[in-house]
Structure formats: structure tokens, C-alpha cells
Amino acid sequence: MGLLDDLKERIVIADGAMGTLLYAHGIDRCFEELNVTKPEEIVHIHEAYIESGAEIIQTNTYGANYVKLARYGLQDDVKKINEAAVELAKKAAKGRAYVLGTIGGLRSTNKSTISLEEVKRTFREQLYVLLNEGVDGLLLETYYDFEELQTVLSIARKETTLPIIAHVTLHDIGVLQHGMPLAEALTELEQLGADVVGLNCHLGPYHMLRSLEEVPIPTRAFLSVYPNASLPQYRDGRFIYETSEQYFEETARAFREQGVRLIGGCCGTTPKHIAAIARALSDRTPVYKKEVKQRHPIVVQEEKQTTAPSLADIARTRRSIIVELDPPKKLGLTTFLEGAKALKEANIDALTLADNSLATPRISNVAVGTIVKQQLGMRPLIHITCRDRNLIGLQSHLMGLHTLGMTDVLALTGDPSKVGDFPGATSVYDLSSFDLISLIRQFNEGLSYSGKPLGQKTNFSIAAAFNPNVRHLDKAVKRLEKKIECGAHYFLTQPLYSEKQIEDVYEATKHLPTPIYIGIMPLTSARNADFLHHEVPGITLSDDIRNRMAMCANDRVQSTKEGLAIAKALIDAAFDLFQGIYLITPFLRYDMTVELVRYIHEKERLAKERTVYYG
Ligand SMILES: Cc1cc2nc3c(=O)[nH]c(=O)nc-3n(C[C@H](O)[C@H](O)[C@H](O)COP(=O)(O)OP(=O)(O)OC[C@H]3O[C@@H](n4cnc5c(N)ncnc54)[C@H](O)[C@@H]3O)c2cc1C
Ligand code: MET
Ligand SMILES: [Zn+2]
């Protein structure tokens, strides 16, 4: 008889948390290291769970992989720590309980932080040690990212015929990240060969029960659940879980009614919780039938589509000029508004507003954008970085922009805090630019990050950044292709300072379906040229350009003239290759960008005249 035979006949009880139990005892370091440094404590916890009724225990290896151990400088000890974990669990089990080798998920909410190749490499290393040490089965737990779980489950299934338990972690009731329905996920895991499929961590019994109500009893696999004790509280700098064992006793019976065959606990649970479950299900009798609640279909109201064409559409059909005029670093909008008005009169398609560029605080671009839109009737293009807002803040921000009717956004990772005025400030980066673009696309489908209906579809037109000032242009273009896959509609480049570079950019991107706005920022002085050349990563100015600026020395009028002449030559180079021109106003010097806008319009007029004249 093995674990799967037992599960065929009856409900099986598993153990509870290891990590939070150690944490509650004051251990804040790497929990898995204790397999080697304090083995008797680990054995003691395993024994306490078995004595409480656990028939299955899991090795203390949740984070015993290369990536997580590296945070403690223990990356070379993967083998040693996993070997010790199996030895300790077996020592505690003494044949009284099955020993599962646990492998935890690596990705949380941000896919881009760890590639699938890294996931595979890391997983394999841990898997082979656990299998070698003779575990009775595998527990793949706390997978927020379904793609990651699919990947590692497929690897594990090829490597062993032992029972595999695959656990996803819910994002919200009934759904994984990005809105994947739980029932669909569990069916897919069963099809990939998992013997037991279910849930663990993040949420407690309430959310898990409501989620399982929407899940049919699997045909071949068994259903399992390892709820957290409760939602954690943050008190005096520590996370605390508080749930009475009595509540676990009641909910264990409710889990049985949902067809659950394996039940244990996750974060915050203790041997007392497991004893409560064992008491509640003392006869271990399973149910074989249940009524499945239908998931409410997602109702998304169509948002009125704006009639104005997007900036991407405009750049596809005609010359388009957008101008960056950044919100000021000091309070007061007088100069800024004068500049915005002058640019409006010069006839631009949109005013782009940076989001604390170079990681230095500026007046909120939403506040400034609202004024520009409402008072001047201009179209603001709002830059959004992932640096200053976490996943909650970003979604709230997008909902706010939608509410204000601002549909043009530029999705960026953003300059890191350390380049700006507050180098010690946190750079959040819950998301990368790729994830932010995907998130905005999902908003356009009427769904939040978790897949919850937003009630309306947003209508964002999504711009993304293109930095051609890199050593390998082909790599930058690969990033563009990925951004398009994520949902980018068009691109804005960093400022370019050479005609040749503009041609290279054209050659490297002409296969892309999305328009590109070429960035041109006039130089204001020799000092400005030197700063850009020497201190801004990636920007290189030719000797000729720097000499031309140097010749103007400190003469402001002459410098402006020369800066404009250089910018005009760049516009000439871009004119026939790109319809979109993105002018960047240096230091609120809107006189310069206004002049360049006029230059482009005049050029356009002459070109049209020529076309008419010559047919
Ligand atoms: C049009 C435009 C507007 C901008 N506006 C703002 C703003 O308002 N606020 C602000 O803080 N910053 C702004 N920036 C700066 C921008 O955040 C950084 O320059 C960023 O590095 C490039 O854009 P991204 O954020 O989309 O980065 P991503 O394309 O997401 O790149 C993120 C990081 O990946 C790395 N990377 C990118 N390309 C390559 C490559 N080819 N090879 C190797 N590594 C690479 C870099 O380390 C980069 O920082 C803007 C940039 C552009 C082009
Ligand atoms: C973070 S989810 C829980 C991981 C592991 N089962 C533990 O309790 O330590
Ligand atoms: Zn947990």
C-alpha cells in the first residue's frame, strides 16, 4: 500500500507549516539552513505534527534551492541542505508517516524576475537530490505563477513515478493570477500527470472553501488543500497569524464536503490545527459527489470608445509631432503653462509628461495632465513608471487615469531611485515595463491584474520606450518585439544625436508593425552637450557636434541657434523614414521645441507642395 492507495480509500491528513512556526520562535534567517545547523529542532517539529495526526510530512526544503539559498550565501549547499532535510524527516517519521520532498515556487507576481530557463535549472538541481534520498513523493507548493508550475511538473513527471502533489496558490477567490479560473488550472495539472492537485498558502479556509465550491472532483487525481491559518496581521514589526483550532475543526468538515482527500495546513498553522483537522475527520470518510457552483460569468461593460484616433493611428497615417514638457521640479506652473500654450499654438498632437524622470520628484504628471487637458484642451501622454508604485498603486493609478479620461500612456520600468535626488528611496519594481504593458492591455479587456472584472473596459493607447543607445541594437529590437507581444501599440525613442543612428534604427525596425516616434532633444549649451556625452549612459555625441557647441562657449543666443541647427539636421534625417517625431524640451526651454515644431510643419507643407507640383 502506498500513499495513492490510501487516498483511494479515505481522507489523509498532512502536516502544517514549518516556516512560520520557526519564525514564531524568533528565527528570522534561512529556515532551511536549520536542517544542518539545528537538526533536532526540525525533527522535533516533524514529530509534533505526526503526534497531532499527520500521516504525511513534508521535508523542510520549501526554499532550499539555488536562487533562494543564494540570498543567504548558501547557494553551494543545495545538496547538503536537501539531503539533511530528507534524513531528518525520515528520522522523525520512523515509518509512521509518508515523507514528501517539498519544492516551492520561485516566481511570485513578477514573471520577469526569473526566466523559465533559470526556473528549470534550479528545480532540477533540487529535484534530483530529493529523489536520490528516497522520498515517498513530491510536493510542489506555493506556485503563484501557473506557467512555472506547468514547467516544473512536466519535468518532475518525466523523472519519477512517485506520487506528485501539485499546489497552486490563489490570487483571489476562484482565480489564479491574471484571472485563470482555479478549476481550469487543476484540470490542466491533472492532465500533466499530477496525482494530487490542490491549493496552499496565501489565503485561509474562507477563501479556499469558496474557491473549491467551483471545482469539480477530479476524475483521476485527488483533491488537496493546505490553507493558511488566517490572513496575517502585522504587529510590532512581526507577522502574526491568529486562528482558533476550533475554526479549523469546522472548516475541515466543510472541505470534506467539497471532495477534498488530502488536507494539511500552510502558513500560521501549528500542530494544534492539524490535531483539530484530525479530530474533525476522525472517520476519514470521503465524499464522492458534490454540486459544483458555477462561476459567475464576467460581465464587462463596453466603455464608450473615444472617437479621437490614437497616437499610433495618427503616426500610421500622417506626420505626428508630440512634445515632452516635463512637470516642474518646483511648485508653480506659470512657465510650464506658458510653454504648453505656445506648443498648442504651434499645433502639436500631444504633450508628453514625464513621471519623475531621472528619479527626481516633480509635480504629479496626472495633476499637470488634468490641467493641460481641461484648461488648454491638449492631449496629455502620461508616462508611468514601475519605480514609485507597487502593484496596488499602479492599478489605482490606471483606474484614476481612466476616470479622468486620459487614455494615452507610456509604460516604463523607470530610472532607478539611485540615479536621482533620493538615492536611498525604494525602487518598487513589482512589475517591469513588460508586465506593466500586459497589465494595461488586460485593463483594456476589462480585467484587473487578478482577473477581477473592472466593470468597464479601459481604452488606453499604450506607448513603450525604445532605447537605441545601446551597444547591440539587435538586442534592443528584441525587447521591442517582446513589448509588442505584451501589447505595446507604438514606441518613443531616447533622444538620438546622429543621422547615421536614425538610419540604423530605421533599418533595424522596419519589419515592426508598430509606429516609432524618433526622440530629438535640442542641445542648449556646450556644457549640456558634455554632460549628455560623458554622463548619460548610452548617449554619445560626435566630435563634430561637441565642437560646434563648444564654439558657442557661453553665448546663450549662439548656443541656442547651434542646438537648433543640429536638431533640425536630425529632423531632416528622420523626416522621410518616420512619421512620428518626439521632441523633448530641455529645461523648460519651450522656445526651442516650439521652433522645431514650426520647422517640421513648414517642411511638411513644402513636401506636400512638391507632391502636388510634381504629382
Ligand atoms: C521615451 C522615454 C521616456 C522616458 N520617461 C521616463 C520617465 O518619465 N520617468 C523615468 O523615471 N524614466 C523615464 N525614461 C527612462 C527609462 O525608464 C529608462 O531609460 C529605461 O532604461 C528604458 O526604458 P524602460 O523603462 O521601458 O526600460 P526597459 O525596456 O523595461 O528596460 C529596463 C532595464 O533593462 C535593461 N535594458 C534595457 N535594454 C537593454 C538592452 N538592450 N541590453 C541590456 N539591458 C537592457 C536596462 O537596465 C533597463 O533599465 C524614459 C525613457 C524613454 C525612452
Ligand atoms: C510559504 S508557503 C509554506 C512553505 C512551507 N510548507 C512551510 O510551511 O514552511
Ligand atoms: Zn504558506
Cell of 126: 533540487
Closest ligand 2 atom to Cα of 200: 2
- pLDDT band, very low/low/confident/very high, at 461 (cuts 50, 70, 90): very high
Domain locations along the chain: 3-280, 311-523+565-614
Tell me if 201 is assigned to a ligand binding site.
yes
Cell of 455: 466593470
Residue nearest to atom 36 of ligand 1 (CA): 476
* 434 and 478 Cβ atoms separated by less than 8 Å: no
Predicted confidence (pLDDT) per residue in 180-217, tens digit: 999 999 999 999 999 999 999 999 999 999 999 999 99
Q: Please give all residues whose CB falls under 5 A of ion ligand 3, grouped by chain where several chains appear.
A: 201, 266-267
Instruction: Match 523542510 to its residue by C-alpha cell.
Output: 60
Distance spanning both ends of the chain, measured CA to CA = 88
For the CA of 435, the nearest ligand: 1
Closest ligand 1 atom to Cα of 483: 29
pLDDT of residue 611: 77
Determine if ligand 1 sits within 6 Å of the CB of residue 479: yes
- Residue 135 reports pLDDT greater than 90: yes
Predicted confidence (pLDDT) per residue in 268-322, tens digit: 999 999 999 999 999 999 999 999 998 766 655 655 555 689 999 999 999 999 9
- pLDDT band, very low/low/confident/very high, at 110 (cuts 50, 70, 90): low
Closest ligand 1 atom to Cα of 472: 41
Cα–Cα separations (whole angstroms), residue 432 to 385, 557, 581: 9, 42, 26
The fold of the 3-280 domain, in CATH, is: TIM Barrel (3.20.20)
pLDDT of residue 303: 55
pLDDT of residue 73: 96
Predicted confidence (pLDDT) per residue in 504-544, tens digit: 999 999 999 999 999 999 999 999 999 899 887 768 899 99
Rounded Cα distance between 337 and 154, Å, is: 59
Residue nearest to atom 19 of ligand 1 (CA): 415
The rounded mean pLDDT for the chain is 94
Determine if ligand 1 sits within 6 Å of the CB of residue 417: no
Rounded Cα distance between 323 and 341, Å, is: 12
Q: Which residue blocks in 404-524 are alpha helix, DSSP H?
A: 433-444, 473-486, 499-509
- Residue 69 reports pLDDT greater than 90: yes
pLDDT of residue 614: 66
484 CA from centroid of ligand 1 (Å) = 15
Tell me if 267 is assigned to a ligand binding site.
yes
pLDDT of residue 301: 60
pLDDT of residue 305: 57
**Domains 3-280 and 311-523+565-614 in one fold:** yes
For the CA of 478, the nearest ligand: 1
Rounded Cα distance between 50 and 39, Å, is: 17
524 CA from centroid of ligand 2 (Å) = 57
254 CA from centroid of ligand 3 (Å) = 20
The contacts of residue 178 (CB under 8 Å, 6+ apart) are 171, 442, 449, 450, 451
pLDDT of residue 302: 58
* 141 and 102 Cβ atoms separated by less than 8 Å: yes
pLDDT of residue 242: 77
Q: How many C-beta atoms surround the C-beta of residue 390 within 10 A?
A: 15
53 CA from centroid of ligand 2 (Å) = 19
Tell me if 552 is assigned to a ligand binding site.
no
% helix / strand / coil in the chain, to the nearest 5? 45, 15, 40
Q: Which residues line ligand 2 (CB under 6 A)?
A: 17-19, 58, 62, 102, 104, 141-142, 201, 266-267
- Residue 469 reports pLDDT greater than 90: no
168 CA from centroid of ligand 2 (Å) = 13
pLDDT of residue 613: 67
- Residue 555 reports pLDDT greater than 90: yes
pLDDT of residue 515: 97
Rounded Cα distance between 566 and 542, Å, is: 11
Rounded Cα distance between 112 and 106, Å, is: 11
User: What mean pLDDT comes out for the span 125-139?
Assistant: 98
Predicted confidence (pLDDT) per residue in 145-166, tens digit: 999 999 999 999 999 999 999 9
Cell of 260: 477534498
Determine if ligand 1 sits within 6 Å of the CB of residue 383: yes
Least confident of 108-117, 143-152, 330-339: 108-117
Strand ranges inside 264-345, DSSP E: 320-324
Residue nearest to atom 7 of ligand 1 (CA): 357
Instruction: Match 508653480 to its residue by C-alpha cell.
Output: 332
pLDDT of residue 377: 96
Cell of 294: 458555477
Residue nearest to atom 8 of ligand 2 (CA): 17
Cell of 79: 545538496
Phi first, then psi, for residue 303 (nearest 5°) are -80, 145
Predicted confidence (pLDDT) per residue in 235-277, tens digit: 777 777 877 889 999 999 999 999 999 999 999 999 999 999 9
Buried b (16+ CB within 10 A) or exposed e, 451-477: bebbebbbbbbbbbbbbbbeeebeebb
User: What mean pLDDT comes out for the span 395-405?
Assistant: 97
State the architecture of 311-523+565-614 in CATH terms: Alpha-Beta Barrel (3.20)
